Structure 1
Amino acid sequence: MSTPDAVPVSLAEIARIAGVGRAAVSNWRRRHHTFPARIGGTDVSPQFSLAEVELWLRDNGKLRDVGRREFLWPRFEALGSRDESGLAVAEAARRMRSPRARISHPELSREARTLVGEAARLGRREGPRETFEFLLQRWLETHVRQLSTTPAQLAALMARIALTVRLGHGEGGLIVFDPACGTGHLLAAAAHESGGSGATLLACERDPALAALAAARLGFVTQELDVRSEIATTDALREDPFAGARVADIALCNPPFNERDWGYEELATDRRWTHGLPPRTEPELAWVQHLLSHLRPGGAAVVVLPPAVASRKAGRRIRGSLLRTGALRAVVALPPGSAQPHSVSLQLWVLRAAADGPGAVPSSQDALLVDAARFARTGAREPGPDWDALGSFVLSAVAVLDRPDDDPPEHAVRVSLLDLLDDEVDVTPGRYTASGTESSGSELAAGCRELSAHLADLAGRAQYLSELGFEAEAVRTTATVGDLVKAGALTLRAGQQPLEITPPVREPAVPLLTVADLLTDGVPTGLLRADSAQAVAEEGDVVVAGVVRAFRAWVHEGPPMALGPQLYTLRVDPERLDAHFLAGCLRAPANGRQAGTHASSSSRVDVRRLQVLQLPLAEQLAYAETFRRLRSFEALLGRTDTLAKVLVGDMSDRLAAGGLTT
């Protein structure tokens, strides 16, 4: 076990504690001989003593007022076990609310119990809920590859959909059900969206650490709102604590995906499978029927599912039954990035149990299919969808679910059962919305105006570039990257094929960029253990792709990023080199041709042979600004090209559909 003095922290953790960027900490380490010595890790990902770091930061005036929480988290991480650290966070939250409560997790180690007490006291000083949410978020970030959570925006949207779609209100408070609740994001969202009012939150979770954290989260919700919560630590499919009970007004769920060992053999004769026994390869349809079996008449469920569930051949019989009985009311295709896995366009299935009594609605002869994938937000600094626009669109679509005389908004269609119940029973929204999404005349006109604005902007930038002057007989000296490395003007690190792609319990993960990513959209698709990365690009570093088919160089922006094979990171001495000047020189096509082998498109570029102009720093800045303008021109040219191609395609579709008036 780690004593408080020996708790290890990384450079990134020190940056968090000090409230600065990681590059600043690297500079402190290089420039101050008094900076604490490394106690572990590797040269690339060193680790330092938390106690020594805190003392050094205080003595050197580097410690900003970030609160004691940042010092607290590394000690939770140092416990080593994912489960123990999670249980300790949950126990600390419980003690923040009830200081005299007896410990509920006797399996915690002595070190963990001591830490729980300190965290509880800190939480009562700095805010119990805020402290818990901070520790929970750090725990989730550390174990991101082992856990799947529902983003708060998606959880709120799901709760609003369910509250909109359910029929009747019954007597007593709202009952919300989640049979795979994780850390309780969906239940907390439902409580807030419904306003509490005596609601009951029922949940199951088979992972004890997640169940404890969910109970801790909902404990704060019950303090804030008039709600009651009950969480059973069990596998809801195999050991259903609410078997045979139709208890829920609304049900929300983000179940585990693609699990083959979900209980197919032992549950073959279960009464929940009213729409058919789910095939072994369709565990998601088991969760769908589980939710339906616990809904009160008229109750609604919203469940997150992978897109393949809408079309896989094995599940067509169950999908057909769900449609014929009116249980499956709508399918919403979400933009990529809405939830894990972020590269997939997940779907929301909206289900409703048949209503009875005076307010009953007859079984519908159609289903609502909503394609919301267009709300993706592509900016690197703002990942994920445009939640405000997405939520507004989806809610406006489901609002007309029971109003057959009202047309749904564009990109949402009612599809008759006659069309859906074919040989495939495919309920993928894009299959049915594509034919009805031709751009209107006003949209085409707006696209033309946007294209005109882009072209005008391009013309202005081209004018600036055309006015640049170049000396015909200018003779400049150059130096190679290898020479600059030897002179200490920059450091060079080469990325390598990772030996380990799954982060261990104690290590956070960093995005991993490969050459294959550069050849697609340039977005890292992998994750890598921080201490196993050979080269990590930090903000302000220059990244070079050392292969002919993807040769480029740029200044990295954003959080740290690990580099794969044939990628290199160059860190400049800011008193001798400007990063944007360096990147501009390196990415010149002639430079890449001179340093390449020319044997094939997969040939490597010898980064050490790349040439860089030898200029004083003051002159470099003028070049750097021009390089930036040139890159901006190139980026705008790419966006304009994309916009023009989309506009031509949309206009061609519109013309082919007829209706030309001029």
Structure 2
Amino acid sequence: MRTTGSVPVSLAEIARIAGVGRAAVSNWRRRHDSFPIRIGGTDVSPQFSLAEVERWLRNNGKLDSIAGRELLWPRFEALGSRNDSGLAIAEAAHRMRAPRARISQAELTAEARRLTDEAAKLGRSEGARATFEFLLQRWLETHVRQLSTTPPPLAALMARIALGVRVGGHDEELTALDPACGTGHLAAAAVQECGDRSLTLLACERDPALAALASARLAFVGDGHDVRTEIAAADALREDPFTGARADIVLCNPPFNERDWGYEELATDQRWAHGLPPRTEPELAWVQHVLAHLKPGGAGVVVLPPAVASRKAGRRIRGSLLRTGALRAVVALPPGSAQPHSVRLQLWVLRAASDDPGAVPPGQDALLVDATRFARAGTREPGPHWESLQSFVLSALQALDRPDADLPDGAARVPLLDLLDDEVDVTPGRYTPAGTEPSGLELAAAWRDLETVLTGLARRARRLSELGFATGGPQTTVGVGDLVKAGAVSLRAGQQPLDGAAAPGSAFVPLLTVADLVSDGTPSGSVAAGSAPVIAERGDVVVAGVVRAFRAWVHEGPPTALGPQLYALRVDPAKLDARFLAGCLSAPSNGRQAGTHASSSSRVDIRRLQVLQLPLGEQSAYARAFRDLGAFEALLAHAGGTGKGLVSDVADLLAAGGLDG
């Protein structure tokens, strides 16, 4: 059994506990002989005893107000597997609400039970819901590569769609179902969007740890709402715990591309009203599962990969869904809307036939909505422009049962005769114009955005133009190689990740390569942390050592593995300012002098790159100037992209005629 004293923490975790930057912790370690000694890890990524670190921080007055929760997390992480820590967090949440409750004592170790007691006590003093959400978020971040969650904005959009599309008016009592609930994002959105109405919430999750966390989350979300919740830990396809239950709305983000979904044992299942899903089409099994649980007139919204709309194996089922009016609309989402973030996922909007004689009968068309244009172009921010996306999609779906209503650009009402061909392809992009004209509001917003950027650009330009430069002789410089010898920086060269499958429970980190820098600068892959020889941490200076992509910057994102020809420099904050170092290294003249330039793929000798030799106190002024210059460059690129887009849009509008005055 692992005790508190043997729980290891990294420098980054110590920084979070103390509420400071990682560089400050490195500085403490160098300046204070009393700082705890390393108990594990490597020279580059050392690990320390949590108990010793806590004692040292308290003795030196360096504990931040958030330390209570931060001190808890490493101990939860040290419990072992993902399931052990997840079940312990769920148990702690229930005990925060009911001190004497113990829902899973038999499944927890003695250390886990002690930890849940401490977490429950802390939650009751510092806020139960905030403490639980903190622990849950850290758990999700740690296991992000093993889990698929539904972002809250997407979950809210799905709940609003389902409530708007269903036939049944404004009933005071509703039933909602999520058959693959994960940690409860969609179920929580259903509670929030149903407002004051009485809600029976049914949810199912085959992973016991996720089901326990969903139960804990929904207990908090349900406070202040009239909600009755029932969560089952089971495989909804193989062992449906809610057989015969019918819901007003069903929300589902099912697992993708699973071949072992129960094809053989479920061949004669009554849910396959539109045909037995092929072994390679598990997503269509989930679609029919959703339909089987809808009340007459009820609506379901399912997140699906785009291939489901066009794969040959599923065309017969897609045709049946269209002919019966079960598939009412398909919405193509922009990349980044949910995991996997590189894929343009789709929302399939389903509705069961209504038994109300006055209800709108199934039409002879389907509504296809292409919302992919709401991606954040040219930015690393995750997710689309949610507010604009939600407004557009909800506006388009308002016309679902109104054949004469006008549709916004990007939405099309497609006759079934056009869809029921040899392919039965319901991909929205095939039926909506590739380049839709911007609306007046969108065009006005783009002009305002450009005006704001140009104002910021002018302000930065004035500041940079006021910089004065001495006309004397050149300043003394020192090479990176000499800085390494002097101990001012440590240099690590990125490498190809080690081959082999990741161990169960391994944490994954993004992988950045030179090819990524040449495209958009965003890591395109991920690797198990243990297989990555070099990982850049926040505050490291990263240098691309190849002529075609030469640049240097201070890494500010999550821990990231570096591929070949990328280098990580970690500075001694008592000798060097990281932004000063990155600014000096990124100068084009540096790349020209240190590179061979035999071809665009030539390497840059990192150790030959030159850095101004200045006292630490004088480096900050240069660091600020380099930061302003970088911001100026980013604004310039933004202005160029926005301006080009406006030129293109306005030119198309002019060529189409209709100039007013």
Q: What is the TM-score of this pair, normalised by structure 2? A: 0.91
**Could you give the per-residue CA deviations for residues 610-657 of structure 1, whole angstroms, max 9, x where no partner exists?**
122334456545544444444344333333433344344435544665
Contact 2:290 2:300 in 1 (8 A): yes
1:15-68 deviations in Å (ceiling 9; x for gaps): 221112222222222222211111122223222111111100001111011152
Equivalent position of 2:15 in the other structure: 15
The structure-2 alpha-carbon separation of the partners of 1:28 and 1:526, relative to structure 1 and needing over 3 Å to count, comes to farther
1:45-64 alignment to 2 at 5 Å? 45-64=45-64
Asked if 1:238 corresponds to 2:243, the answer is: no
User: Structure 1 residues 71 and 583, CA, compared in 2 at 3 Å: closer, same or farther?
Assistant: closer
Tell me how far 1:578 sits from its aligned partner.
3.6
Counterpart AA for 1:535: V
Contact 1:77/1:506 (<8 A) preserved: no
Deviations 1:415-450 (A, max 9, x none): 222333333322222332325713468866876786
1:40/1:359 CA distance change after superposition, 3 Å: farther
Deviations 1:380-427 (Å, cap 9, x if unpaired)? 674222323322222222222222232133322322223333333222
How many angstroms does 1:77 deviate by? Answer: 1.3
**1:336-375 aligned within 5 A:** 336-375=335-374
Which moves more between the two structures, 515-524 or 550-559? 550-559
- Give the whole-Å Cα distance in 1 for the aligned partners of 2:212 and 2:326: 33
Write the letter of the residue equivalent to 1:207. D
1:96–1:448 distance in 2 versus 1, CA, 3 Å: closer
Amino acid at match of 2:590: N
Shift of 1:504: 5.7
Aligned letter for 2:492?
Answer: R
Return the alpha-carbon distance in structure 1 between the equivalents of residues 540 and 182 of structure 2: 38
Cα 1:88/1:317, change in 2 over 3 Å: same
Deviations 1:316-335 (A, max 9, x none): 22222212221111222222
Aligned residue identity for 1:7: V
Tell me how far 1:242 sits from its aligned partner. Answer: 3.0
| Residues 209-358 of structure 1 mapped to structure 2, 5 A cutoff | 209-243=209-243, 245=244, 247-358=246-357
Paired position in structure 1 for 2:594: 595
* Superposed counterparts of 1:126-525, under 5 Å: 126-169=126-169, 173-195=173-195, 197-243=197-243, 245=244, 247-377=246-376, 382-435=381-434, 437-439=436-438, 474-499=473-498, 508-525=507-524
| AA aligned opposite 1:104 | S
Q: Report the Cα offset of residue 453 of structure 1.
A: 7.7
Inter-CA distance 137–368: structure 2 relative to 1 (3 Å threshold): same
Q: Is 2:511–2:561's contact at 8 Å kept on the other side of the alignment? A: yes
Summarize deviations over 1:597-622 as a string: whole Å, max 9, x none: 33433322110011223344565455
Shift of 1:288: 0.5
Kept in 1: contact 2:27–2:574 (CA 8 A) = no
Residues 226-266 of structure 1: CA distance to partner in whole angstroms, max 9, x if unpaired?
211112222111122333x2511100011000111111222
Change beyond 3 A, Cα 1:612–1:92? closer
Note the C-alpha offset of 1:200.
0.9
AA aligned opposite 1:601: S
1:115 aligns with 2:115: yes
TM-score calculated relative to the size of structure 1: 0.91
SS in 2 for 1:267: coil
Higher mean C-alpha displacement, 391-400 vs 515-524:
391-400
Please give the alpha-carbon distance, in whole angstroms, between the structure 1 residues aligned to 2:440 and 2:73. 56
Provide the secondary structure at the position in 2 that maps to 1:290.
helix
Contact preservation (8 Å) 2:184, 2:214: yes
In the superposition, relative to structure 1, how do residues 404 and 47 fare at CA in structure 2: closer, same or farther (>3 Å)?
Answer: same
Matched to 2:270, the amino acid is R
User: Against the structure 1 CA distance between its residues 659 and 506, is the aligned structure 2 distance closer, same or farther, given a 3 Å change threshold?
Assistant: same
Structure 2: give runs of 5+ residues left out of the alignment. Answer: none
Is contact 2:27-2:573 (8 Å) kept? no
Deviation at 1:452, TM superposition (A): 7.8
* 1:310–1:625 CA distance, 2 compared to 1 (3 A): same
* Alignment check: 8 A CA contact 1:145 1:503 kept: no
1:71 aligned partner: 71
The answer to whether the 8 Å contact 1:44/1:533 transfers is no
- Greater mean deviation of Cα atoms: 521-530 or 457-466: 457-466
SS in 2 for 1:486: helix
Aligned to 1:33: 33
Separation in 2, partners of 1:441, 1:248: 40
> Structure 1 stretch 328-337 or stretch 222-231: which is displaced more?
222-231
Describe how 1:514-593 pairs up with structure 2 within 5 A: 514-530=513-529, 533-593=532-592
Distance 2:394 2:633 in 1: 39
Contact 1:96 1:123 in 2 (8 A): yes
- Whole-angstrom CA distance in 2 between matches of 1:323 and 1:579: 59
Q: Distance in 2 between matches of 1:261 and 1:381?
A: 35
Give the conservation status (yes or no) of the 8 Å contact 2:93–2:132.
yes
Look up the equivalent residue of 2:568 and give its one-letter code.
Answer: T
Q: For the Cα contact (< 8 Å) 2:91–2:104, is it kept in 1? A: yes
| Alignment RMSD | 3.0
Percent identity over paired residues: 75
Distance 1:627 1:563 in 2: 24
CA distance in 2, matches of 1:489, 1:179: 56
Secondary structure of the residue aligned to 2:106 is coil
SS in structure 2 opposite 1:279? coil
Q: Deviations over 1:554-600 (max 9, x none)?
A: 22234443322211122334454343333233223332232223343
The answer to whether the Cα contact below 8 Å between 1:251 and 1:291 also exists between their aligned partners in 2 is yes
Structure 1 Cα separation of the partners of residues 85 and 445 of structure 2: 54
Is this contact kept in 2: 1:142–1:507, CA < 8 A?
Answer: no
Q: 2:106 aligns to what?
A: 106
Cα 1:420–1:598 shift into 2, 3 Å = same
The more displaced of 204-213 and 609-618 is: 609-618
* Equivalent position SS for 1:427: coil
- Could you tell me how far apart the structure 1 residues matched to 2:350 and 2:111 are? 47
Aligned partner of residue 434 in structure 1, secondary structure: coil
Cα separation, 1, equivalents of 2:97 and 2:449: 55
